[in-house]
Amino acid sequence: MHGLVSPQQASFAKPVLADVEQLNLWAMEGRLDVTKLSFHALGHVLDDYVMLSSGAALGRGCGPLLVSKNKAFVPGEQSRIAIPGTYTTAALLLALFAPEAVRTVVMRFDRIMDAVNKGEVDGGVIIHEGRFTYQSMGLFCAQDLGRWWEEETGFPIPLGCIVARASLGDSVQSDINQGIRQSLQWIRKHPGAGREYIRVHAQELDDKVLDDHIGLYVNNFSEHIGDEGILAVRELLRRGRDGGVFPDTGELEWVG
């Protein structure tokens, strides 16, 4: 889009920017040829999309946090917990960690901390920049869901990935994947070059928060998910299937 890398076959129009849950829903409707989505949503679209090995958000110490105003909060059957979308990985992790916490309230990720603060819900699962700012709002971390996953499975936590429509064909999918990898390599060599573009679309404008956010979520797994990453994704999909979350769809396929 910015002309800094040059895929051979694929060309991109102006990007479509939307909340992660909106992208999940659009993928389930098959509206987009290439899209970012949650790994939770991936479990519902395996018949229609293939995962790209570049562009994933996956790692250690970067999972969603369950926060509350009550330092001793423990989710229970009557707890009302805000989640940033039904098909987000955050929602799936909450369901795996606390299956009894069934009274979930769906809201945009950027509204959750305020809702917890106002007592509209008992707790909330926060993602993105909220990880770095929740304490400034007087909230406490009741459970680091990413840490729970790592301790439970030994794997890094798969959060989101980029997928391409299966019908595009191998060569186009590979070209898109390579273009994303080249883009990530370029920006990691020029770490300040994308700041203004990011700032326009960010919920949090503090430079340190932006840098910490990018440093945590854009990592070596983003350039290439690798064998460990594939195993982590397969484990998440397996647990989701065993828990009755996912339909009996196709097997995980990936490009690159």
Catalytic residues: 128
Dihedral sign for Cα 226, 179, 2, 165, please. Answer: negative
Three-class SS state of 121: coil
Tell me the two tokens of residue 203: 């919920």
Helices (H) and strands (E) in the chain, counts: 11, 10
The whole-angstrom separation of Cα 213 and Cα 128 is 7
The whole-angstrom separation of Cα 27 and Cα 41 is 8
Q: How many CB atoms lie within 10 A of CB 76?
A: 11
The whole-angstrom separation of Cα 48 and Cα 41 is 12
- Quick one: which of 160, 135, 149 has its CA closest to 69? 135
Q: How many CB atoms lie within 10 A of CB 30?
A: 12
Three-class SS state of 32: coil
The whole-angstrom separation of Cα 96 and Cα 99 is 6
Tell me the two tokens of residue 15: 């990007």
Q: How many CB atoms lie within 10 A of CB 238?
A: 13
Question: Which residues touch 31 (CB under 8 Å, ≥6 apart)?
Answer: none
Q: Are 146 and 61 in contact (CB under 8 A)?
A: yes
